[in-house]
Structure 1
Amino acid sequence: MSQSPGLPTPPPSLPDAQAGRLLRLLEAVRTVGSELELHSTLDRICETAAALTDARYAALGVVDEEGEGLSDFVFHGVDEETARRIGRRPDGHHGVLGALIHDPVPLLIEDVTEDPRFYGFPEHHPPMRTFLGVPVRVQGEIFGNLYLAEKRGGGPFGQEDLDLVRVLASEAGIAIGHARLYEAAQQRERWIDGSVAVTTALLSGQDTDDALQVVAEQARRLSDSAAALVLLPADEGGLEIVAVSAERPGRVLGTVVPAENELVRELVDGRVVFLQDAAADPRTATEPQAVARLARAWGPTMMLPLQSEGRVLGGLVMARARGGRAFTRAERVLAVQFAAQAALALMMAEAQRDRERLAVYEDRDRIARDLHDLVIQRLFATGMMLESAQRRSVVPEVREGVGKAVDELDTTIQEIRTAIFALQQNPAEAATSLRTRVLRELTTAAVPLGFRPGHRFVGPVDTLVGELTGKNLLAALREALSNAFRHANASRIEVVVDATVELPDGTPGVRLTVADDGVGVPEGGRRSGLRNLKRRAQSLGGDSWIEGGIGENGAGTTVVWQAPQ
């Protein structure tokens, strides 16, 4: 059949083998771009390249941000058990892999072990001779290198293999670019969600320790770290570890890293610290032993100040396991933003607690004013009316009953004044105040006594009585209550702490009175406990003594202990 004039000559048909490889290349290109997750894309590239060139082994090394080594190494053809025995993956600083990083041009080597750049294989590494290496570029920049080794059949890789892999590497660069964009978007979304969770926890009003634990857990999860720590300023200086998230945290919670530590100084000054290998950094070895032991398992580490509006509230540490991949520039930026968001949430939570505390103080002040201006004044007026009625009464029983009512009103007024002083006290100090400690002693004594002693406070004992005098007053109270339990056989005990006393030399003092209705101190009875009380008072410049009984039949004992405030 003759060719029609004017029509082009058809190209000769491709050999079957060549056509088959072209179809495999087209299928490989389609396959490489089918993943969006970055690591899956790298795995697929290695697998496809090995199948396309009949290579036994394939790997893709991701060049680090400095362009000096490998930050990640994905492989195909080596089983997990062999990889575990080999140990650390190549870092790209030496050998043929390092040469391809510093001079990113395609390489075809018939026997890599004979190449002058060969650095040697680690123990348990499978034997490899033939080698093909091609750089992978993403948007014009070197992303990494694709390595192929050990062509099946024993022959070397040829020019045709190199051409196919170069086309595949070009398409792989496009697929990696898409996967990186997708992963970056997903990563930002995760960090935003984590910041929202932290902000919600800190502002929800839940326990502060629980909220800080959420910060540590979110930081560890988002940064893909082995451990995360939250540190806040300690009372004695330095930073205290207040939250830990780790598989094996050790006993570091509550540990204070001293202010002299160089890393702590960096954080307190508001500077970000990145460590390539925390275990090998001498600055981590000088910390408390509990922290140093934990840091020995750390590799790449981020130490970020919790800083907002120029104020450093603490620090956040995120550490990957030793030998783990380094934090990328994007991860560092996101972590810094996360720390700033957490610091802002901490400040907002602190301001919220201050507002709530102020509202409580205002309410307590209002109640105290109402008690003083209304209740006490009315009770005082009622007492005066009763005293006037008592003077006019001619019936002894009535006068006695009215007198007891007046005494009860006086006691009630003193107790209300005690409540007013308590309302004016800072709630944060209540747990360690003298008033609270006295009440704790009375509660403790109620168990062996079988009843709770009565009590009354006169004056602002928490603000007037010093710490040393308060400790000795508690010891005296403990001794007096013990004596009443062991010797007095009392059914009623009254305790009065009076901070409005003036000592004989004119200095202000405090007086503790413990009165019971028991059998009293017998003539010639043991008085070692009372002598101890006297010596304790005299050591402070005060004195103590014993007065007569208060019982209805003249029994009982009143122990009086007083000392300068």
Structure 2
Amino acid sequence: MGGDEQGAVRSGLPRLRLDELLEELQVRIDEVRGTRDRLNGLLEAVMSVGRELDLPQVLRGIVEAAVVLVDAEYGALGVIGDDQKLAQFLPVGISDDLRAEIGDLPSGHGILGELIRHPEALRLSELSDHPASYGFPAHHPPMHSFLGVPIRVREDVFGNLYMTEKRGGIDFDEEDEAVLSTLAVAAGIAIENARLYEEVRLRERWLTASSDFTSALLSGLAETEVLEGMLERARDITGADIGVFYLVGQGGELRGSLALGDGAEAHRGIVLPSSAGTLAAAALGEEDGLITVADVGTEVRITVQPERWKGFGPAVAVTVGTKEKLNGVLILARRCGRPAFARAEIAALPGFAGQAALALELADRRRDTEQMSMLEDHDRIAR
């Protein structure tokens, strides 16, 4: 999105809960009894996270500001998923090489899970002394002092800030807790604004894709070429690693007509039952024609050729059709370890699929009309 477009969206965003934020910040700043430099640092951090609208950049900025404000050697921001586990974990202070040696990022055990279960500030002199302490994996640097606070977006807990190892070998104190809690309030507002911006941006991208798809079909382009473009746009908008489109055959079977991305060859040309045993069949069984799964590679409902989905995790499937005719099923999936499809990312997917179905129906009618016209011309010439 260009600068002008981004500026237009930015100006249209409401300043969410501004009065409430200012009141809350005033109360919390009063609790910070530190130096003018520290107060200035806090206010600058609050302003900084509020200026950004790109959500990944917002999250990274929050945790980087937090580490500086409380003088922590290590910090992280954990985003809580729908399953109450960590869907994202953004660490600061650990090198990429060391992160690779440690292995998988945490999912929410131990102290990290304690804050998920009990979303309130937690300050510890020694991590290992807490009953919920889970220990550290191999190669993990030693950590002792700890400070964690929740980040709320309106009434919902979005995630937590985790700070460890106060520099100088001392403990985090009440003032550190007040500073971090103040930043968390501002972070909640910034995240809400960034989410709203992302929803507007995604909605615009889906609408543009639907319009382009319809125009391409009605312009006379080959249907396969147009469907391939539709699949690629859906992959691009959702960040999916693979996209598959199954057409419904004359006998009701599902035929893998198009597949793009990683492992696409395993899906091309295969014929699957529409009754059960596949992700596409599961989508057909849903009232709204939409289904999401956390791990398509281990999904119990996929019993027909499940090896096709080996190495993939989050997936979404949506039916493409009208009340009169079912055209097929669109499936998008990401590799294992990638985040699940967020509600905002796929909220417009059923509408996109519905527009695609209408466009296909219009193209069919146009072809029928053209064929009828040709037949009438032949009859007229024959007479």
Q: Same fold (TM over 0.5)?
A: yes
Q: 1:338 aligns with which of 336, 348, 352?
A: 352
Q: Does 1:168 align with 2:186?
A: no
Question: Which residue identity is paired with 1:281?
Answer: E
Identity %: 38
Q: 1:316 aligns with which of 312, 330, 347?
A: 330
| 1:82 equivalent in structure 2 | 98
| 1:353 equivalent in structure 2 | 367
| 2:230 equivalent in structure 1 | 215
Please list the CA deviations of residues 178-212 of structure 1 after superposition, one character each: whole Å capped at 9, or x if unmatched. Answer: 11111111111112122222222322211111111
Instruction: Note the C-alpha offset of 1:170.
Output: 1.0
Instruction: Note the C-alpha offset of 1:345.
Output: 1.4
Change (3 A) 1:18 1:204: same
Alpha-carbon separation, structure 2, partners of 1:329 and 1:259: 26
Please list the CA deviations of residues 72-94 of structure 1 after superposition, one character each: whole Å capped at 9, or x if unmatched. Answer: 222211222333333332222x2
Alpha-carbon separation, structure 2, partners of 1:336 and 1:125: 44
| 1:41 equivalent in structure 2 | 58
Structure 1 unaligned blocks of 5 or more:
1-14, 371-565
* SS in structure 1 of the partner of residue 35 of structure 2: helix
| 1:423 equivalent in structure 2 | none
Q: Does 1:303 align with 2:320?
A: no
* SS in structure 2 of the partner of residue 304 of structure 1: strand
Alpha-carbon separation, structure 1, partners of 2:33 and 2:231: 61
If the length of structure 1 is used for normalisation, what is the TM-score?
0.59
Change (3 A) 1:296 1:361: same
Alpha-carbon separation, structure 1, partners of 2:329 and 2:190: 38
Q: Does 1:72 align with 2:116?
A: no
Alpha-carbon separation, structure 1, partners of 2:271 and 2:263: 19
Larger CA deviation: 43-52 vs 252-261: 252-261
**Where does 1:226-265 land on structure 2 (aligned, <5 Å)?**
226-263=241-278, 264-265=280-281
Change (3 A) 1:178 1:269: closer
* SS in structure 1 of the partner of residue 79 of structure 2: strand
RMSD: 2.1
Structure 2 unaligned blocks of 5 or more:
1-31
If the length of structure 2 is used for normalisation, what is the TM-score?
0.85
Q: How many residues get paired? A: 349
Contact 2:34-2:175 within 8 A present in 1 as well: no
Q: 2:74 aligns with which of 57, 66, 83?
A: 57
Instruction: Note the C-alpha offset of 1:125.
Output: 2.6
Instruction: Note the C-alpha offset of 1:360.
Output: 2.0
* SS in structure 1 of the partner of residue 302 of structure 2: helix
Alpha-carbon separation, structure 1, partners of 2:75 and 2:209: 37
Q: Which has the higher contact order (CA 8 A, sep 6+)?
A: 2
Larger CA deviation: 134-143 vs 80-89: 80-89
Larger Cα-atom Rg:
1
Alpha-carbon separation, structure 2, partners of 1:310 and 1:90: 48
Q: 1:138 aligns with which of 153, 156, 163?
A: 153
Change (3 A) 1:88 1:213: same
| 1:91 equivalent in structure 2 | 107
Alpha-carbon separation, structure 1, partners of 2:57 and 2:205: 19
Contact 1:201-1:214 within 8 A present in 2 as well: no
* SS in structure 1 of the partner of residue 264 of structure 2: coil
* SS in structure 1 of the partner of residue 297 of structure 2: helix
Q: Does 1:155 align with 2:173?
A: no
Alpha-carbon separation, structure 2, partners of 1:16 and 1:213: 61
Alpha-carbon separation, structure 2, partners of 1:132 and 1:343: 52
Question: Which residue identity is paired with 1:63?
Answer: I
Alpha-carbon separation, structure 2, partners of 1:192 and 1:164: 42
Question: Which residue identity is paired with 2:98?
Answer: T
